[in-house]
Amino acid sequence: MPTRFACIVLCAALLACKAYRVPSIPDPPETPPPRLGVARIAPVKSPPDGPLSAEDRGAFTTRLHEDLVATGLFERVLLDAQAAADVVVTATYGERDCLSEPLVTVVTLGIVPYPGCYESGYRLTLAGPALPHGAVTVDNLSSPTALLGWVAGPISLLPGWQASLPRTEEGEALRGAILAAIAAAGQAPPAEAR
């Protein structure tokens, strides 16, 4: 009986191994980052394929809040839709998980790995008086590779891979994308000159 239990635990452990590719982080602009003050997250826009459940909307907003705080660009990030703010952040909802449990990986007890993905990044609009060149659009959505199966354990030790979701790197990628969007807005010709 203990041997059977050990086998079940080992199989579950082999199937539970995951490796996540770290999302690409843009190089920061050479100019110092602007002081953006207080940010407020506006109600999240629903995706084109239908309305969101309150649970999905809440989880997405919580993660967006954490990632905006992690950028270090804002004094505070508020969730109160009525609060005064220097920057209003409007996000379009995006799925955060595209992994599935493939039959081949399960049947082979993780020997045949499943190369899936996870969703990283956001599609945002930032507007407000703190932005030096007006409203900017930030789109740093990507689908980095995620491996599932026993081979994912050793791969997660390689540079550029992690055994858990790379949350710190996602915050850095969002920071870089916001700074790049602000810098690009400063280089664009004025609207009346176009």
The domain locations on the chain are 34-186
In this predicted structure, the answer to whether residue 65 has a pLDDT above a threshold of 90 is: yes
The average confidence (pLDDT) of the chain is 79
- In angstroms, what CA-CA distances link 79 with 13, 37, 38, 125, 145? 38, 15, 11, 16, 31
- In angstroms, what CA-CA distances link 26 with 23, 118, 158, 173, 181? 10, 19, 21, 6, 11
What is the reported pLDDT for 192? 47
What is the reported pLDDT for 2? 57
In this predicted structure, the answer to whether residue 193 has a pLDDT above a threshold of 50 is: no
Left (φ > 0), alpha (ψ -120 to 50) or beta: where does 121 sit? left
What is the reported pLDDT for 182? 87
**With contact defined as beta carbons under 8 Å apart, do 29 and 159 qualify?**
no
pTM of the model as a whole: 0.77
The pLDDT of 55-84, averaged and rounded, is 88
C-alpha span between 41 and 98 (Å, rounded):
25
Q: Length of the chain in residues, anyone? A: 194
